[in-house]
Chain A
Amino acid sequence: MASQWLKQAGSAVLLFVALTSAALAHTDPGTMSGGFMSGFTHPLFGLDHVVAMVAVGLWGAFLGRPAIWVLPVVFPMVMAFGGALGVMGVPLPGVETGIAVSALVLGLMVTLAIRPPLWVAALLVGAFAIFHGHAHGTELPNAANPLLFSAGFVTATGMLHLAGIAFGELSRWSWGAVAVRSGGALIALSGLGFLTGWLVA
């Protein structure tokens, strides 16, 4: 009885939240909406970030449980560490190269259906997350509202992971498995493009 009430109350809350919309009339970076949107769009304006983030979710879904939640959890946490390095001015050589390589390697993992042990996958994703975090972290001191900027780009990153997971779930079907591996190939090719310079991030 109580759990039924809880479910109904929860559904009402979710419906209420879903019916509201954000008031984004003002885009002053110093305001709540402005700072958050600045950070939210930051990863989205870099194609190299986008493909790598989607690849993390895609690979996690491809590997199945528990990787499907481990990889999207490990990534932002380690990204925060990389971001902290960027914020503190600790130099990290080859940040852009590292980001391009992340797209190439993660794309290849999916295309070639490579299923390493969970700790290896987490280590690989974590290593790449440092580069992504460092790139975002160097922008943080310039943000008018760093916390909102940080929350914005972490949210965007997570949503790209979720998009990758959603796409990866298609592998349940035989046609979906082909689509997922093709997606991985596209991501790997994009990574190669960023590395060689024929694709601009």
Chain B
Amino acid sequence: MANFFLQGLQHPWQFPAHVMVLIGLGLLLGQQSKPQRRSGWWVFVLAILIGLGLTQLPVSVWNGNRVLLALAGVSGCLLALRLELPVWFCAVMAGVGGCLIGLDSAPVMIPGMKALKLYSVLAGTAFGASLSLGLLILLAALLRSVLDGLILRILGSWVAASALMVLALLFAPH
């Protein structure tokens, strides 16, 4: 059971698009004031649980990469601009991010797999993503006043640039 939980724990870090969203969102929330950070993190936790729960319903398979990358791009741009965002906006960003990551984290179904193992994977994913987001928020909160927030702004531009380039690739005619 612990193995499945650990698998879930590492899951968000095995998909580049999830990593980009976590980094962009985490640093963006950390750059904001306490109410935004707190509400953003809690909304993310709730949203990822909802998203993971929805993976167990018979919904159609979808490719969330484009939306995830767009969210990462927007987070990166806002991070670079260093805007003071309202609480509701941070909550919406965190909610959308959490839900998308959850929906995109359906575990691989092995025939005969026990329900408890499946739930362990899902729990690990939720815990791993929430913990990662929390740590990134903490890191950004510490860096927000270092060198006038220069490091965060530069990191934001990196996230936005990476995400936007790959989005262009996804939309490019083949």
Contact = CB atoms under 8 A, between A and B. Distances in A.
Contacts of B150: 68-69
B59 interface: no
Contact of B138 (A9, A35, A83): A9
Contacts of B141: 6, 10
Contact of B154 (A81, A89, A161): A161
Interface residues of B, number: 33
A161 B153 CA distance: 13
B91 to A, nearest CB: 21
Contact of A13 (B139, B149, B157, B158): B139
Q: How big is chain A's contact interface, by range?
A: 35 or more
A84 B168 contact: yes
A73 interface: yes
A178 B40 CA distance: 48
Interface string B135-174: 1001101100000111001111110111111111100110
B69 interface: yes
B63 interface: no
Contacts of A141: 169, 172
A77 B154 contact: no
A73 B139 contact: no
A151 B80 contact: no
Nearest to A151: B162
B125 to A, nearest CB: 17
Interface stretch (B14-22, B43-51, B104-112, B116-124): B14-22
A92 interface: no
Contacts of A80: 160-162, 164-165, 168
A73 B165 contact: no
Interface of B: 14, 16-17, 20, 69, 77, 80, 135, 138-139, 141-142, 148-150, 153-158, 160-169, 172-173
Interface of A: 6-7, 9-10, 13-14, 32, 35, 65, 68-69, 72-77, 79-81, 83-84, 87-89, 133, 136-137, 140-141, 145-148, 150-151, 154-155, 158, 161-162
Given A13-B135, A80-B168, A147-B162, 19 more contacts: A6-B142, A9-B138, A10-B142, A69-B154, A73-B153, A80-B164, A81-B164, A83-B165, A87-B168, A136-B165, A140-B165, A140-B169, A141-B172, A146-B166, A147-B163, A150-B161, A150-B166, A151-B16, A158-B158
